[in-house]
């Protein structure tokens, strides 16, 4: 695929030096020739949604431009997760790094390997609020991301991350 497509990626971490992991992961995600950073959100501290008892997450969203096909971008995201010692032992469990493709241009897919837009993004403040901070006019499923964020059940547990908070 030679056409460059904008995609929104959501990043999260709650194990180890999460802030450093997010910074390094962004650099790793835009390292190949086929991916460039278009926009970067502020970082949010969020309560875990689902899964076992675990530490708070640091979450952020980036927008990239890529010449990678959707499944190539997914493979690239998973390689970056593995580079940061991501393990998949407990669903919605703690992790060093999670990278999800939220959108891939206007492309949609119901394939279980890669569902686009991400099937739970429209109800998750930890994705929506950083995205709205990054791009106040962003839309998902025909609605403003900021409106979806205001309705998300996990919004009360989300605060902007301050460097002196640790993480």
Q: Out of 19, 45, 56, 100, pick the active-site residue.
A: 100
Q: Out of 45, 95, 124, 154, pick the active-site residue.
A: 95
Written as six digits, the tokens of 12 are 């999260």
Per the annotation, the verdict on 98 as an active-site residue is: yes
Per the annotation, the verdict on 100 as an active-site residue is: yes
Q: Out of 98, 124, 139, 164, pick the active-site residue.
A: 98
DSSP assignment letter at 123: G
Per the annotation, the verdict on 143 as an active-site residue is: no
Q: Out of 19, 45, 86, 124, pick the active-site residue.
A: 86
Alpha-carbon gap, residue 1 to 34, rounded angstroms: 10
Q: List residues with catalytic annotation.
A: 86, 95, 98, 100
């Amino acid at each position: 695929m030679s056409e460059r497509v904008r995609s929104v990626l959501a990043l999260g971490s709650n194990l180890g030096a999460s802030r450093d992991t997010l910074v390094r992961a962004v650099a790793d995600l835009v390292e190949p020739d086929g991916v460039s950073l278009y926009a970067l959100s502020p970082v949010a501290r969020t309560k875990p949604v689902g899964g076992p008892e675990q530490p708070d997450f640091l979450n952020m969203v980036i927008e990239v431009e890529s010449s990678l096909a959707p499944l190539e971008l997914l493979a690239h995201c998973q390689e970056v997760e593995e580079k940061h010692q991501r393990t998949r032992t407990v669903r919605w469990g703690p992790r060093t790094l999670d990278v999800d493709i939220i959108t891939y241009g206007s492309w949609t897919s119901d394939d279980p390997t890669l569902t686009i837009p991400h099937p739970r993004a429209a109800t998750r403040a930890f994705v929506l609020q950083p995205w709205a901070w990054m791009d106040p006019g962003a839309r998902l499923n025909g609605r403003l991301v900021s409106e979806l964020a205001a309705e998300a059940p996990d919004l009360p547990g989300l605060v902007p991350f301050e460097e002196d908070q640790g993480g």
